[in-house]
Copies of this chain bind each other. A is one copy, B any other.
């Protein structure tokens, strides 16, 4: 283990894509743990022993405390140096200023894994202290979780190095939880208990001085005990690495569910104060997560309920839902929520309608969502099943439906019923289990509200491996996530990896900073971007000649890298209809260029004027976490005043760009609303794709890349102006 690669210290932001990876093999399943600063009285020091005991940890625990003989009856040693054989992990619960010495001790006896609870490092501004810690970790070859970290819980393997309380009744399962805020661990574990969600590991990240969130995600994607990763995140320090991991997770069929703080400026401010993180562009985060099928949730409840649905292993093959309920009111709410989440409620097939009409009371309305009209009080199946089970089974055979939302469980009592009733319920659940197993499509049991499941119900559900989705509100949100994730999974499996283009050397340009329009046009041209014709001229006479070739009316623009806002200095002349107008305009424009100090004027660009069309905007900027990001929108007020813009992290496909254009609020204008000009969306998307590729061809030099406007009229698409900045 001493050859384990560790990152170099001092690289605190670590946004590079090629940091050496940290292996976490064995980190979360130590068979021997030393606790330095062990105590029977302190909150943290006490909890770690209590937790290990409650979990039934069968390995070796070594308390370390020079002032005590035993802790909770276990013999104490004074220092790690007194260990006779190394332990797998050391849990360091001593004050901030002692941590370094403890790490020296740990290294001296060959310990390779550590959790550090003490705060007072980078999170409180003590960056030097954190740097020192990173250097020590590298020098000693110790992998560290923390500092400022309560540790981790491994439910499946009954071992924790964790200084907070673990709620009683945690179930082992395949959800692993990663938290950038340790104080949320308790409520999250309680929610898992309440909803019968089995947990594999819960890992608090602390300051991420050595091991960071991406390392843990990477480990969990490879972890056979993890099917779902549920995260609370305050920041993605290396967004591009996270995206790459999320793509791997999709291919591996593992779901990632994220509650990311900072949806709003206020939330970003709060997250900043908590971690000292740099706020990225929240709209980019949102776009990026959607691109890689990460389910972004907005509440703790939604986080757990969504993770629970994924963990149940149910296969939701599409968006067409059949809903079976005992309440007309529930049907209404389901229909509204389904619409919110993009789920469909198709009409039942004729054979389903017929079967339902025969089975349900005459006063029932046979439609989707279905109110079973008190059928449970009016019929008897003669088996352990209730009549609603029969109804759910009929609906599950409907060819128009991808899955069944089944609200047939509101009869299960909160409190334990008498034995006869309990036996009846238990027998029914066995039947339900069989029904779920035999069904050709997923039947998803859902409760009416997220608070309905009591201990007795929990017991019989668990006994039959029935995951009861927590209420219509969160349940339908979770199903929406599931449908979108399944789609992303399918796409990820068939999609060829989109490779960024090879760098193109733009002819005639090697400068840094803003480029002249002429240089920019050359790069666009080399990348096949359709451009309005233009000629660069240096005299009024040449301008007139060019206008003659290009066709009147024309536009003249001053061309110099230093003059980005040409109109502001009088460097643009529009709508010139005659040779005379061109001549006059040339003199004015050229003079305007000469008036700018330090500008290297390359000449004047002559282009034909284009008639009124739709003016799009396509720009690429560099997000500090996610890298090159494409923005598209309509130009003018749409993008500048109304912020109607669609974003995606590059690279993207032409199909992606079509979806981006379609998702704009102003998208009806692309279709020629009210007799306006129309856009050929496929052609526009192809041009924007080339623009994106052109921007990527600049590699790490790319700073900003903007085509504004990209003029579109029917099947004509042309870039009318370009602004490129490199560094």
Contact = CB atoms under 8 A, between A and B. Distances in A.
Interface of A: 43-44, 119-120, 123-124, 167-168, 179-181, 183-184, 186-187, 190-191, 194-195, 232, 234, 259, 261-267, 269-271, 273-275, 298-302, 326-336, 338-340, 345, 363, 365, 367, 369, 371, 377, 410, 414-415, 448-452, 471-473, 636-637, 640-642, 665-666, 668-669, 673-674, 676
Contact of A186 (B120, B365, B410): B410
Contacts of A329: 179-181, 183-184, 232, 234, 261, 274
A666 B640 contact: no
Contacts of A267: 332-333, 335-336, 339
25 contacts: A183-B327, A184-B329, A191-B449, A259-B333, A261-B332, A261-B336, A264-B336, A264-B340, A266-B336, A266-B339, A266-B345, A270-B336, A274-B329, A274-B332, A274-B371, A299-B333, A299-B471, A300-B471, A302-B473, A450-B450, A641-B669, A641-B673, A642-B665, A642-B666, A642-B668
Contacts of A636: 674
A267 B333 CA distance: 7
A76 to B, nearest CB: 22
Contacts of A371: 183, 274
Nearest to A331: B270
B448 A187 contact: yes
Contacts of A369: 270
Given A642-B665, A642-B668, A665-B642, A336 B168 contact: no
B271 A332 contact: yes
A183 B328 contact: yes
Given A181-B329, A274-B329, A449-B187, A473 B299 contact: yes
A191 B329 CA distance: 16
Contacts of A259: 333
Contact of A269 (B186, B266, B335, B363): B335
Among A124, A273, A472, chain B packs the most CB atoms within 10 A around the CB of A273
A336 B669 contact: no
Contacts of A194: 451
A365 B449 contact: no
A332 B637 contact: no
Among A265, A326, A328, A334, chain B packs the most CB atoms within 10 A around the CB of A328
Contact of A301 (B191, B262, B414, B473): B473
Among A195, A377, A451, chain B packs the most CB atoms within 10 A around the CB of A451
A507 B113 CA distance: 92
